[in-house]
Structure formats: C-alpha cells, structure tokens
Amino acid sequence: MEQKTLRLFLWKNFIYTLLILLAYLLQETPALFPPALRPVLVISMVTAVAMNEGEFSGGLFGLFGGLLCDTAVFHIFGAASIFFLVLGCGCGLLIIYLIQPTVKSAFLLSGGFALIYGLAAHYLIYGMWGYEGAARLLFTRTFPSAASTAVFGMGCFWLVRKIRLAFEEAAR
C-alpha cells in the first residue's frame, strides 16, 4: 500500500511539473497571445497548485516556476524566483487559514499576484531607471496582462483540482 501511495504521489507531482513547464512554454511563445494581453501562465499554475496542495507544494512549485521565468526576463535574476516562492507559500497559507478554495478565489488570487508581480517587474525594468513614458506601459501592458492571467487562473484551478481528485480517488 505504501509503494502505491508513493508512486501516485510522484506521478501527481510529475504531472504538476509538466503543467508548469507547459504553462511557461505557452507563455513565452511569441505569436500565441497579443502583446497587450500576454498572461503570466506560470502564476496561474502556481496559484492553482498552491490552492489545491498547500503551502509547501505551492512554495516548491513556485520556486521552480520562478526559476523558469527568470530565464526570460530583463530584470534582476532571482527576483521572479523569490516572488513566486512567496506567492506559492502565501497562497497556500491563505487557503488553509482564510479563504475557501473556489474558482472565484482562484480568479482573485491569480489576478492579484499577477498585478503585484507586474508592478514590481515594471519598477525593476522601467521605473528604477527613469524611462520617459513608462507609466503608459502600466495601462497598455501590465493591467491587461494581470486581467488575462486572472482569467486563465480559473481554468488552471479547475484542471489542478480535477487532477488532485483523480489521484485521491486512485489512492482509495
């Protein structure tokens, strides 16, 4: 029985890893989304995993997703890793102690975390260096990206919830 449980645990986490990798690849594909609505799909997946699996798994998968996203950004290396680690742990703790894990809360958490990450990245890329017209990019890139991330967060939550329930059923 223990070997079956361990095997199911490893398969479930392997599937989560593949989903985060797939989300990263889709997010970084240039022609898939219009530039103004380009979502951060890794945030949606990390939020979904943290909401369904708890703070420890959310933190580990957040660190993994952050390392992936750090390879494609133009700001300080490691900022996304730390942010996504805190995102995963914080989201898991919010679900455990404060919020019910529903599709509505997945929408709000994904959008809120994407907005906070977008504002931090905007400051690290443009605000810190004093670029002219950088405030316009908030309204044309950051806010629409956070909104599209929130929409994809609902689908990611539903997908991860179905995977978790399928593995729990198989463990019985």
User: Quick one: what percent of the chain has pLDDT higher than 90?
Assistant: 65
Residue 13: other Cβ atoms inside 10 A: 16
For range 12-26, the mean pLDDT: 95
Return the H-helix or E-strand segment holding 144: helix 143-171
| Assigned CATH for 2-171 | 1.10.1760
Name the average pLDDT for the chain.
90
Angstrom distance (rounded) from CA 55 to CA 62: 10
Helix 55-70 / helix 2-28 crossing angle, nearest 10 deg: 30
Of residues 74 and 143, the one with the higher pLDDT is 143
Q: Is 119 left (phi over 0), alpha (psi -120 to 50) or beta?
A: alpha
Question: What pLDDT does 1 receive?
Answer: 54
> Is it the case that residue 128 has pLDDT exceeding 60?
yes
Structure tokens at 104: 């509505």
pTM of the model: 0.89
Query: SS3 of 33, please?
Result: coil
Task: Identify the CA nearest to 143 among candidates 104, 108, 114.
Answer: 114
Of residues 137 and 88, the one with the higher pLDDT is 88
For range 148-166, the mean pLDDT: 95
